[in-house]
C-alpha cells in the first residue's frame, strides 16, 4: 500500500475557506467593537465638557454664545462650534487647525487642561444634517443669544454616534442658561 504524503487540493481549499470565514467574522466583530468604543468615548468626553461648562457658568454667570450668532459676524472663530472646524466662517478672520479653537475658553480659563475632540473628528458642515451636506463626526456646541427668536438662552452640546442615526445631545436646555459675548 502506498503512503500518502500531503493534502489533496480539496482538503487545502476547505481549510482555506474555514480560515477566511473565521477571519471575516473576527474582523467584523473588531470593527463593531471599535465603533462602540468610539461612541463610549464620545459620551464620556461630552460629559466632561458639560461639567466644565457648568463650572464656567457657575463662576461667570453666563456661557459664551457662538460666533455664528454674533450680529455681523465676529473673529471669535471656533466657539455653532464644531470640534472639526479648521478656519474662518463668513465674516470671521481666524484660521486654525481642526479643533484648536473648539471651546478654547474652557482651556484658557483653566476649566480643562485639554478640550477633548471627537475620535474621528472629520466633520464638514452641519454633521447632524446630511441632507444639507453635512458629513463626518465632530462635537458641537452652541449657546444661543437671549434675542434669538426660536431658542433664547439655549445650550446645545452634542455629537453624532456611529451606532445610531440619531444625534446624542448631553445638554439641550431651553431656556436656562444665560448666553452672551464674554
- Per-residue pLDDT tens over the stretch 52-83: 998 998 998 888 876 543 323 333 343 477 88
Average pLDDT, the chain: 78
Q: What is the pLDDT of residue 171?
A: 65
Distances (CA, A) of 110 to 115, 131, 138, 161, 177: 11, 38, 23, 28, 21
Q: What is the pLDDT of residue 48?
A: 94
Structure confidence at residue 136 as a pLDDT band (50, 70, 90): confident
Q: What is the pLDDT of residue 5?
A: 79
Beta bridge partners of 169: 158
Q: Is the pLDDT of residue 175 over 60?
A: no
Q: Is the pLDDT of residue 104 over 70?
A: yes
Q: What is the pLDDT of residue 133?
A: 75
Q: Check: CB of residue 139 under 8 Å from CB of residue 115.
A: no
Q: Check: CB of residue 50 under 8 Å from CB of residue 112.
A: no
Burial track 30-66 (b if 16+ CB lie within 10 A, e otherwise): eeeeeeeebbeebeebbeebeebbeebbeeeebbbbb
Residues 128, 131, 137, CA angle at the centre, nearest 5°? 30
- State the number of CA atoms in the 13 A half-sphere of 114 facing the CB: 4
CA dihedral 64, 118, 176, 128 (to 10 degrees): 110
Percent of the chain surpassing pLDDT 70: 74
Q: What is the pLDDT of residue 99?
A: 55
Q: Is the pLDDT of residue 130 over 60?
A: yes
Q: Which of 15-19, 154-158, 166-170 has the lowest mean pLDDT?
A: 166-170
Q: Is the pLDDT of residue 91 over 60?
A: no
Q: What is the pLDDT of residue 72?
A: 34
Greater confidence, 125 or 166?
Answer: 125
* Residues contacting residue 146 through CB under 8 Å, at least 6 positions apart: 152, 153, 178, 179, 180
Amino acid at each position: 500500500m502506498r503512503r500518502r504524503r500531503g493534502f489533496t487540493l480539496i482538503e487545502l481549499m476547505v481549510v482555506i475557506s474555514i480560515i477566511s470565514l473565521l477571519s471575516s467574522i473576527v474582523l467584523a466583530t473588531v470593527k463593531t467593537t471599535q465603533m462602540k468604543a468610539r461612541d463610549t468615548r464620545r459620551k464620556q468626553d461630552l460629559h466632561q465638557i458639560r461639567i466644565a461648562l457648568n463650572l464656567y457658568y457657575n463662576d461667570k454667570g453666563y456661557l459664551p454664545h457662538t460666533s455664528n450668532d454674533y450680529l455681523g459676524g465676529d473673529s471669535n472663530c471656533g466657539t455653532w462650534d464644531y470640534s472639526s472646524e479648521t478656519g474662518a466662517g463668513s465674516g470671521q478672520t481666524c484660521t486654525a487647525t481642526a479643533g484648536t479653537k473648539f471651546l478654547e475658553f474652557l482651556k484658557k480659563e483653566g476649566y480643562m487642561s485639554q478640550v477633548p475632540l471627537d475620535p474621528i473628528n472629520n466633520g464638514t458642515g452641519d454633521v447632524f444634517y446630511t441632507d444639507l451636506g453635512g458629513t463626518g463626526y465632530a462635537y458641537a456646541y452652541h449657546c444661543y443669544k437671549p434675542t434669538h427668536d426660536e431658542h433664547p438662552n439655549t445650550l446645545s452640546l452634542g455629537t453624532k454616534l456611529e451606532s445610531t442615526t440619531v444625534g446624542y445631545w448631553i445638554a439641550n436646555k431651553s431656556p436656562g442658561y444665560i448666553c452672551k459675548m464674554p
